[in-house]
């Protein structure tokens, strides 16, 4: 009886740790995606545990899970940090994203309901009302739009692959350099995708999504390369 009671207690403790790890993973992932934890930011277990109000064990497990998702990297003598991507890396990631998300958009166009078209149109309305410098809300609404399309594509494997290249420090980083005009261009692409959905035109929906992703790639990569270029020395 005593052994059984101890086993049940241990199992309950394991469940609590597992639930805490899942919750910590979600919170840290969102902080990275939304830009509150920037690329290169050190992720200290003790500090995160204190902020989340949990022990260090679930935080440690959460960081391991985020390493597997390529959002976090662990280096000797430095610990875990938010992963940093250079311009060439981002260029490749966006190329892959354009192919995968374009295909997902085609699948969504073949399956979409009028209700879903309306939901995406309302997302466009919310996006239009946001200021170009309201970074957290822009990221949130943009992810809602793209994730809704992934859900409509009805492929768990495809969704996992697309999220692998979306949920890196990409979306929020690109919005850092958005001017009001560039924000309007992004909003225009969203509207055109919705129009293609309303017309049940998979070819056009796929093409517009690819153009949308590659437009974001060009903006982000050009800014990243400009930052990476060494400053010219004064004569």
Q: Are residues 202 and 118 in the same domain?
A: yes
Final residue before a domain boundary, out of 82, 111, 131? 82
Q: What are phi and psi of 200, to 5 degrees?
A: 50, 55
State pLDDT tens for residues 13-56: 455 567 888 889 988 988 887 778 888 899 999 999 898 888 88
Q: How many domains does the chain have?
A: 2
pLDDT at res. 191: 98
Query: What are the pLDDT digits (tens) for 142-198?
Result: 989 999 999 999 999 999 888 878 766 565 567 777 788 888 999 999 999 999 999
Question: Model confidence over 62-116: pLDDT tens digits?
Answer: 999 999 888 899 988 788 999 887 888 888 889 999 999 999 999 999 999 999 9
Q: Is residue 234 pLDDT above 60, yes or no?
A: no
Domain extent, residue 156, equals 87-228
**Domain shared by 18 and 112, yes or no:** no
Say what the pLDDT of residue 11 is.
41
Question: If you search the block for the tokens 């055109």, which residue do you land on?
Answer: 192
Looking at residue 70, what is its pLDDT? 82
pLDDT at 2 over 50: no
Give residues with Cβ within 8 angstroms of 87, minimum separation 6. Answer: 221, 224, 225, 228
Alpha helices in 112-232 (DSSP H): 114-129, 135-153, 156-166, 171-175, 180-198, 202-228
Q: Is residue 10 part of a domain?
A: yes
pLDDT of the residue at 15: 57
Q: Does residue 20 share a domain with residue 98? A: no
pLDDT at 148: 96
CA torsion 134-140-143-149 (nearest 10°) is -110
Nearest to 162 by CA among 217, 213, 200: 213
- The values of phi and psi at residue 155, to 5°, are -145, 105
> Tell me: the pLDDT tens digits for 110-149?
999 999 999 999 999 999 999 888 887 888 899 899 999 9
- Residue 204 is assigned to a structural domain of this protein: yes
């Amino acid at each position: 009886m005593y052994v059984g009671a101890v086993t049940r207690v241990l199992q309950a403790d394991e469940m609590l740790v597992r639930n805490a790890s899942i919750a910590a993973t979600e919170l840290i992932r969102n902080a990275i995606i939304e830009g509150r934890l920037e690329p290169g930011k050190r992720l200290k277990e003790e500090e995160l545990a204190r902020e989340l109000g949990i022990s260090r064990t679930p935080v440690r497990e959460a960081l391991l899970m985020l390493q597997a998702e390529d959002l976090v990297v662990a280096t000797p003598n430095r610990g875990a940090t938010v992963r940093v991507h250079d311009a060439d890396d981002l260029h490749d990631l966006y190329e892959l994203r354009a192919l995968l998300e374009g295909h997902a958009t085609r699948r969504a166009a073949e399956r979409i309901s009028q209700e879903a078209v309306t939901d995406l149109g309302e997302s466009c309305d919310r996006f239009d009302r946001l200021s170009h410098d309201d970074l957290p809300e822009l990221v949130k609404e943009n992810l809602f739009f793209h994730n809704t399309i992934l859900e409509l594509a009805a492929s768990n494997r495809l969704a996992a692959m697309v999220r692998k290249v979306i949920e890196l420090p990409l979306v929020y980083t690109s919005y850092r350099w958005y001017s009001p005009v560039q924000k309007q261009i992004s909003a225009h692409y969203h509207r055109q995708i919705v129009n293609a959905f309303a017309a049940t035109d998979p070819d056009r929906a796929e093409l517009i999504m690819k153009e949308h992703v590659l437009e974001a790639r060009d903006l982000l990569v050009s800014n990243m390369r400009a930052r990476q270029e060494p400053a010219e020395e004064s004569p």
